[in-house]
Amino acid sequence: MWCELVLNGIGGTTIEEAQRNLSAAEYCTWAEYRAKRGSLNQMLRTDRGFALLACLYSARHGGKPALYDFLPHEQEPEITLEQAMKDW
């Protein structure tokens, strides 16, 4: 997590500097944000946006794709038995 914060310019230019500059509360806030919204990496966020557009385009033209069909480098999260039965 520290590496990702530093690579995105949060807290400083080195891990040591970021650990000094960020309080525990700020670190927890960033960790919660990352857990809720995903990676801070802008290229991964851009990939996800284009995958969403491809999914929408495919669905519009008669396909039945899932978002993860267009994100080969990401693993689809496991689903519960109840969710699988509902989707089936």
**pLDDT attached to residue 57:** 92
Residue 77: which region, alpha, beta or left (left: phi > 0; alpha: psi -120 to 50)?
A: beta
Find the mean pLDDT for residues 81-87. 83
Asked whether the whole model's pTM tops 0.95, one would answer: no
pLDDT exceeds 90 at position 17 = yes
Q: Could you give the 3-state DSSP secondary structure of residue 79?
A: coil
Q: What confidence score (pLDDT) does residue 53 get?
A: 93
| CA angle (8 as vertex; 41, 38 as ends), nearest 5 | 35
Q: What is the pLDDT of residue 73?
A: 80
Q: Residues of the chain with pLDDT > 70: what percent?
A: 100
pLDDT at 27: 93
Specify the pLDDT at position 72.
Answer: 82
